[in-house]
Amino acid sequence: MTATPRTTLGKVRAHQTQNEGLIFEKSSPGKRAYKLPPLDVPDVDPAALLGGAYRPEPGQLPEVSEIEVIRHFTRLSTWNYAIDLGMYPLGSCTMKYNPRVNEFVSRIEGLAEAHPYRPESLAQGSLEIVELLQRCLIEITGMDAITLQPAAGAHGEFTGILLVRAYHQSRGNPRKKVLIPDSAHGTNPATAAICGYEVQNIKSNPEGGIDVAELERIVDEDTAALMLTNPSTIGVFESEIHRIADILHAKGALLYMDGANMNALVGKTRPGDFGVDVMHLNLHKTFSTPHGGGGPGSGPVACKAILEPFLPTPVLVRKPAPATTTPTTTTPGAPGPSHLGTGETTQLGWSFDRPQTVGRVRAFYGNYGMFIRALAYILANGPDGLRQTTEDAVLNANYIRAGLQDLYELPYKTASMHEVVFSDKRQAARGIKTGDIAKRLIDYGFHPYTVSFPMIVSGALMIEPTESESLEELDLFIAAMRSIAAEVESNPDLVKSAPHSTRVSRLDEVTAARKPILRWKPTA
């Protein structure tokens, strides 16, 4: 078998084009997918039992047969696009492969069936997974303490800024404002506002970093924190990060790091070592748990010791094992805040004894299934594997940059980390915008890149291949993007009217937003 030449457009993939209505539209009275045996117990009168809660008319659910249900959802699934089908270069989202070993481990019966209300003495294995993941993430980030409760990134930001607020409050003044660069994720200002802070924007410098002189000018005793994404949303590492941290700390302000782009740092540098006080991680980005499609996500928050007293409860601690419980677990070399030392019998358990806590932020202890997957990923890779992952992610982004920078405008020439941001400037001169190019990319069998973000780049194309992609897949992507750039010159209408291979093409976003139809209703 000969290798495919790198310029071949081998990636064009036909989409399913079957028409498939809503399952409600398939409904036909009396159809069903079950057959119940005759009633062999005394009939009851539900109205008498339930009173006002009794609903005389059954809910209007679709009536379909089993094969119709199966076909309906199977057909819908074929219209979907997933990382298992091809490259998903959605910048800032780190859509990496979700290793099957993660799924295998999370389905082990003792873990999958574990009940959250089991007594702690019977849940030691589950709790050890939490403890080990916490220790791994603390080591990776260089922080002192962590909570795994938050359900995703924005929830992590919210928790992190609550810690900042509680910290300042404990010193007598919650302070007034949070500083946010103009390249930030929109969730950053939203988080600050929800936590009761005023948002002050900082303009980026020509290299895409923080304007340190400007920062020095505006940081004062009213500044609670700076929320910084590092690398930034244009994929640039903040080379002045130490000075930034020093400027903040000199005024008693804290440095929050949005860990969305942690995939560029793992195993290479640690936020705790470059001055970050509190940060969140996205297990569904950096640590390969499912992202999108309901995830669920997971957004642990790691912090320095000064913020530890404020962490959400409960926190995982080692405590003396009850005398009645045997056998008990001792984990050598696993220090915790309440570790009793070798020779004592201890077990892991939850502590609510944190008088300064910001309180619980999530039911139970967060999205536990994701902890298992993230830990499986960390242990399967090991330290060297994680470092290699980071290097490959950065290499892949720079390979794409090198392969496209002669055809697409590169607004920031600073070295790229894990993602590269182009602008549509040259294509826009021909009337083709970043959104058009993204839709044409669908015809070539790829998920679009992130469109029109970050806002500091006009007409942004934000591309993050992750370490998952092989050289062959990267070449296919580059070939597709080069082919589209040629089409912009030779046949712009083809790009403007894309996609052409999907079941539906351009959706009417304006009418959908102005006059949304939020539920199906039977036609009279």
Residue placing its CB nearer to another protein in the complex, 373 or 439: 439
Nearer to another protein, 35 or 515 (CB): 515
Q: Determine the 3-state secondary structure of 228 from DSSP.
A: strand
Query: How many Cβ atoms from other residues are within 10 Å of residue 57's Cβ?
Result: 5
Q: Note the residues at the interface with another protein (CB under 8 A).
A: 452, 455, 509-510, 513-514
Shortest reach from residue 458's CB to another protein, in Å: 8
* Minimum distance from residue 452 beta carbon to another protein (Å): 6
Shortest spacing between CB 514 and another protein, in angstroms: 5
**Closer Cβ to another protein, 300 or 454, answer by number:** 454
350, containing H or E segment: strand 346-351
Minimum CB distance to another protein smaller for 406 or for 508? 508
For the bound state, the minimum distance from the C-beta of residue 434 to another protein, rounded and expressed in Å, comes to 11
- Provide the minimum distance between the beta carbon of 199 and another protein in the complex, in angstroms, as a whole number: 11
Amino acid in position 215: L
499 cis-preceded (ω within 30 degrees of 0): yes
Alpha-carbon distance 131 to 335, whole Å? 10
Structural contact between residues 445 and 408, judged by C-beta atoms closer than 8 angstroms: no
Min. distance of Cβ 450 from another protein in angstroms? 13
Q: What span, in angstroms and rounded, lies between the C-alpha atoms of 254 and 281? A: 17
Q: Please, how many CA atoms are within 13 Å of residue 327, restricted to the half-sphere of its CB?
A: 3
Q: Nearer Cβ to another protein, position 36 or 513? A: 513
The whole-angstrom separation of Cα 496 and Cα 117 is 56
CB of 16 within 8 A of CB of 79? yes
Least Cβ distance, residue 508 to another protein (angstroms)? 10
Task: Name the minimum Å distance from CB 186 to another protein.
Answer: 8
Q: Which is nearer to another protein, 100 or 514 (CB)?
A: 514
Which C-beta is closer to another protein: that of 115 or that of 515?
515
Cα–Cα distance between 6 and 473 in angstroms, integer?
9
Least distance from C-beta 224 to another protein, angstroms? 20
Q: Which residues of 463-487 are buried (b: 16+ CB within 10 A; e: fewer)?
A: bbbbbbbeeebbbbbbbbbbbbbeb
Task: State which residue, 325 or 452, has the beta carbon closest to another protein.
Answer: 452
Neighbours of 175 (CB within 10 A): 23
- Nearer to another protein among residue 103 and residue 222 (C-beta): 222
Residue 513 CB, nearest approach to another protein (Å): 4
Angle (deg, nearest 10), helices 471-490 and 434-443: 120
Q: Which residues contact 248 (CB under 8 A, 6 or more apart)?
A: 219, 223, 225, 226, 254, 255
Distance of CA 293 to the CA centre of its chain: 11
Smallest CA-to-CA distance from 479 within 408, 404, 424, 422 is with: 404
What's the rounded Cα separation, in Å, for the pair 23 and 16? 18
In 149-241 the beta strands, taken as DSSP E runs, fall at 177-181, 198-202, 223-229
| Shortest distance in whole angstroms from residue 382 CB to another protein | 42
Instruction: Considering the complex, state which of residue 363 and residue 455 has its C-beta at the smaller distance from another protein.
Output: 455
Q: Which is nearer to another protein, 406 or 509 (CB)?
A: 509
* Closest separation in Å from C-beta 443 to another protein: 22
DSSP state of 106: H
Give the pairing of strands 198-202 and 177-181: parallel
Q: Closer CB to another protein, residue 129 or residue 460? A: 460
8 Å CB contact between 465 and 397: yes
